[in-house]
């Protein structure tokens, strides 16, 4: 293919309709037909990236290999496509304006008055085409965050209008995702919100090529005809997106509706190759027909919002399918864990995962959960802060250092078993200043974690943290049975701890959940779920 084709996905009526899942599902279908496809997300908020956002505000912050703190939709892209994303796959208004202002300060605009059009729109267009100009992709799908009509989305919509004109017919199209609500009082689906949304898009100079209609009920042919007529799209380009039991059903539902066929036709691309979805269907079959089930306790402090731990929950789905096990995740708020409630909250669990997080709220509950898992031989996985809590718990209750802590929680602790990295001590900015992205880790011979990683000598995993295992305490902790089994040779920092005497107890400083995909479930989650099943059947 000589020229990269572009697909823009916009949303209307309301947010949270699932633009990311539709974009990922379409990309999966195109990839399964042999097209090299990637997806990027344009976010209209002014934060430079979501790294400083509270998880309650925006869900989890997803981290790429190259250290970009990005929108959680990039997690969907990687999980569906099994292709790594990067800085270029997520752009925010904050990053756009920052870039333009820096150019203005350097005098690159030669004294011109810097304006939204053309300077901001030109920068957006440049970012949109970065991946396409790399020569690596046949098709680039660009998801526009927010909803058509939002003030903050206007520069992106204008940039799309210009790109459609510049790229020419058959080289770029727009898919508009809207809601077709069901009014129970009237007992019918209503098309008017979609009509208004398409009209708003047209007022910005953009005609939708494909309509994807989110709905709770089947959309009749009559309604599809009506939408086609009043929204000025071809009849076959009105696509139903009905609520599914799992997001992993959506590519198959989109295939049934002919979304990929319509898109390829509009882009003047060959569609004579049937999508190869064999592995995808095998995964779905295993996921939907488990032979057993396990109960895992997820101990965190953002559990009210499921999106806060999105990648962890999805990694359990991938690992559950491999083990032919349904993983029932019980979300437990660490702030509410006390000596009194501990037994009640943690009973009947086959495994305990202590989740990542920042700050001192809910810390003591996490430490109690670690102790419960350790003393009762329950399979345990600690991720990032969860690993640090495991070190603190061991130092306090086994080593006898009752005042052991992290300097994140207590700057003056006499036993800082978790401490700030030296290079972090002078950092004042919060955004993008942690240890981020992929770092290598050497695995200790004979360790459980080496077995979990199928005998690998070294691994590469993604990080997002400031505080580290304090190696001054390594000898003491190891002498008492908490082994450091993963080390970054470059920095000599401890990445993994485990207890060899325990059936399955591993704490990792990195975030394994970021690298788990449908095609490559993460070995740590696969091993953890398998250990939980063994614990249950003993």
- Give me the phi and psi of 159, to 5 degrees please: -65, -40
- Please state, for a pLDDT cut of 90, what percent of the chain lies above it: 72
pLDDT of residue 57: 65
Q: Are 463 and 435 in contact (CB under 8 A)?
A: yes
pLDDT of residue 1: 46
Grouping H, G, I as helix, E, B as strand and the rest as coil, residue 86 is: coil
Instruction: Please tell me whether 321 is known to bind a ligand.
Output: no
- Tell whether the model's pLDDT for residue 186 goes beyond 60: yes
CA distance 268 to 255: 18
- Tell whether the model's pLDDT for residue 432 goes beyond 60: no
pLDDT of residue 422: 64
Please indicate whether residue 534 or residue 55 has the higher confidence score (pLDDT): 534
Instruction: Please tell me whether 16 is known to bind a ligand.
Output: yes
pLDDT of residue 10: 96
Q: What is the mean pLDDT of residues 197-204?
A: 95
CA 419-60-485 angle, to 5 degrees, is: 40
pLDDT-wise least confident of 69-73, 225-229, 452-456, 491-495: 69-73
Query: Which band of pLDDT confidence, cut at 50, 70 and 90, is reported for residue 359?
Result: confident
Instruction: Please tell me whether 298 is known to bind a ligand.
Output: no
Grouping H, G, I as helix, E, B as strand and the rest as coil, residue 468 is: strand
- Tell whether the model's pLDDT for residue 437 goes beyond 90: no
- Tell whether the model's pLDDT for residue 431 goes beyond 60: no
Q: What is the mean pLDDT of residues 206-231?
A: 95
Report the DSSP pairing between strands 182-183 and 62-63: unpaired
CA distance 364 to 325: 31
pLDDT of residue 461: 94
pLDDT of residue 425: 54
Instruction: Please tell me whether 483 is known to bind a ligand.
Output: no
Query: Which band of pLDDT confidence, cut at 50, 70 and 90, is reported for residue 411?
Result: confident
pLDDT of residue 15: 82
Query: Which band of pLDDT confidence, cut at 50, 70 and 90, is reported for residue 392?
Result: very high
- Tell whether the model's pLDDT for residue 278 goes beyond 80: yes
Instruction: Please tell me whether 21 is known to bind a ligand.
Output: yes
Please indicate whether residue 374 or residue 408 has the higher confidence score (pLDDT): 374
Please indicate whether residue 303 or residue 386 has the higher confidence score (pLDDT): 386
The per-residue pLDDT for range 245-261, each reduced to its tens digit, is 999 999 999 999 999 99
- Tell whether the model's pLDDT for residue 426 goes beyond 60: no
Instruction: Please tell me whether 18 is known to bind a ligand.
Output: yes
CA 156-162-167 angle, to 5 degrees, is: 120
The per-residue pLDDT for range 300-349, each reduced to its tens digit, is 887 766 778 999 999 999 999 999 999 999 998 888 887 878 888 888 89
Q: What is the mean pLDDT of residues 409-433?
A: 71
Query: Which band of pLDDT confidence, cut at 50, 70 and 90, is reported for residue 111?
Result: confident
Query: Which band of pLDDT confidence, cut at 50, 70 and 90, is reported for residue 427?
Result: low
Alpha-carbon torsion angle 178, 183, 184, 188, nearest 10:
-90
Instruction: Please tell me whether 23 is known to bind a ligand.
Output: no
CA distance 2 to 138: 8
Give 11's strand partners: 177
Burial of 190 per CB tally in 10 Å (0-12, 13-18, 19+): middle
Instruction: Please tell me whether 466 is known to bind a ligand.
Output: yes
pLDDT of residue 435: 77
The per-residue pLDDT for range 498-509, each reduced to its tens digit, is 999 999 999 999
pLDDT of residue 51: 65
CA 390-394-396 angle, to 5 degrees, is: 120
CA distance 330 to 391: 24
Q: Are 146 and 12 in contact (CB under 8 A)?
A: no
Instruction: Please tell me whether 155 is known to bind a ligand.
Output: no
Mean pLDDT, the chain, whole residue set = 91
Please indicate whether residue 239 or residue 422 has the higher confidence score (pLDDT): 239
CA distance 163 to 176: 16
Helix (H) / strand (E) element for 294: namely strand 292-300
Q: What is the mean pLDDT of residues 452-471?
A: 92
Packing angle between helix 259-266 and helix 250-257, nearest 10 degrees? 60
Instruction: Please tell me whether 17 is known to bind a ligand.
Output: yes
Among residues 15, 12, 520, 25, the alpha carbon closest in space to that of 279 is found at 520
- Tell whether the model's pLDDT for residue 182 goes beyond 50: yes
Supply the residues annotated as catalytic: 384, 511, 513
Alpha-carbon torsion angle 113, 115, 121, 123, nearest 10:
50
Instruction: Please tell me whether 56 is known to bind a ligand.
Output: yes
Instruction: Please tell me whether 93 is known to bind a ligand.
Output: no
Q: Are 77 and 88 in contact (CB under 8 A)?
A: no
Instruction: Please tell me whether 394 is known to bind a ligand.
Output: no
Q: Which residue has the tokens 């009526």?
A: 13
The per-residue pLDDT for range 6-59, each reduced to its tens digit, is 999 999 888 888 899 999 999 999 999 999 999 999 989 888 777 666 565 657
Instruction: Please tell me whether 378 is known to bind a ligand.
Output: no
Instruction: Please tell me whether 3 is known to bind a ligand.
Output: no
Among residues 227, 233, 243, the alpha carbon closest in space to that of 263 is found at 233
């Amino acid at each position: 293919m000589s020229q990269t084709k572009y697909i823009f996905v916009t949303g209307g009526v309301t947010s949270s309709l699932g633009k990311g899942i539709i974009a990922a599902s379409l990309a999966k279908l195109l990839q399964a037909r042999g097209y090299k496809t990637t997806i990027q997300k344009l976010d209209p908020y002014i934060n430079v990236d979501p790294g400083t956002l509270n998880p309650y505000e925006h869900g989890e912050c997803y981290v790429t290999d190259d250290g970009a703190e990005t929108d959680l939709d990039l997690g969907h892209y990687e999980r569906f496509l099994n292709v790594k994303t990067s800085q270029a796959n997520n752009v925010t208004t904050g990053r756009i304006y920052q870039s333009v202002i820096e150019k203005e300060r350097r005098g690159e605009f030669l004294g011109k008055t810097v304006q939204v059009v053309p300077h901001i729109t030109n920068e957006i267009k440049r970012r949109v085409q970065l991946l396409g100009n790399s020569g690596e992709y046949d098709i680039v799908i660009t998801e526009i965050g927010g909803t058509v009509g939002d003030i903050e989305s206007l520069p992106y919509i204008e940039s799309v209008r210009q790109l459609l004109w510049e790229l020419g017919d058959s080289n770029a199209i727009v898919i508009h995702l809207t809601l077709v609500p069901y009014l129970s009082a009237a007992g019918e689906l209503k098309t008017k919100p979609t009509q208004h949304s398409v009209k708003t898009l047209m007022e910005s100079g953009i005609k939708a090529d494909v309509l994807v209609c989110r709905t709770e009920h089947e959309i009749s042919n009559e309604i599809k005809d009506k939408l086609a007529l009043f929204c000025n799209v071809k009849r076959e380009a009105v696509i139903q997106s009905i609520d599914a039991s799992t997001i992993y059903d959506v590519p198959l539902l989109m295939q049934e509706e002919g979304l990929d066929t319509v898109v390829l036709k509009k882009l003047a691309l060959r569609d004579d190759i049937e999508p190869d979805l064999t592995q995808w269907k095998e995964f779905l079959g295993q996921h939907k027909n488990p032979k057993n089930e396990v109960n895992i306790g997820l101990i965190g402090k953002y559990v009210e919002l499921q999106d806060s731990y999105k990648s962890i929950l999805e990694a359990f789905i991938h690992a559950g399918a491999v083990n032919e096990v349904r993983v029932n995740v019980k979300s437990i708020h660490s702030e509410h864990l006390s000596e009194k409630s501990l037994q009640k909250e943690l009973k009947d669990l086959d495994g305990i995962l202590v989740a990542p997080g920042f700050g001192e709220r809910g810390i003591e509950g996490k430490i109690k959960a670690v102790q419960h898992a350790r003393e009762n031989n329950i399979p345990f996985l600690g991720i990032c802060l969860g690993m640090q809590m495991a070190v603190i718990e061991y130092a306090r209750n086994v080593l006898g250092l009752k005042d052991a802590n992290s300097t994140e929680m207590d700057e003056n602790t006499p036993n800082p078993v978790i401490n700030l990295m030296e290079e972090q001590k002078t950092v004042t900015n919060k955004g993008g200043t942690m240890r981020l992205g992929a770092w290598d880790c050497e695995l200790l011979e004979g360790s459980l974690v080496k077995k979990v990683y199928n005998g690998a000598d070294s691994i590469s995993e993604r990080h997002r943290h400031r505080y580290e295992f304090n190696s001054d305490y390594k000898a003491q902790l190891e002498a008492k049975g908490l082994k450091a089994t993963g080390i970054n040779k470059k920095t000599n920092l401890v990445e993994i701890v485990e207890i060899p005497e325990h059936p399955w107890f591993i704490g990792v400083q990195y975030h394994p959940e970021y690298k788990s995909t449908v095609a490559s479930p993460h070995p740590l989650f696969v091993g953890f779920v398998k250990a939980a099943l063994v614990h249950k059947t003993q």
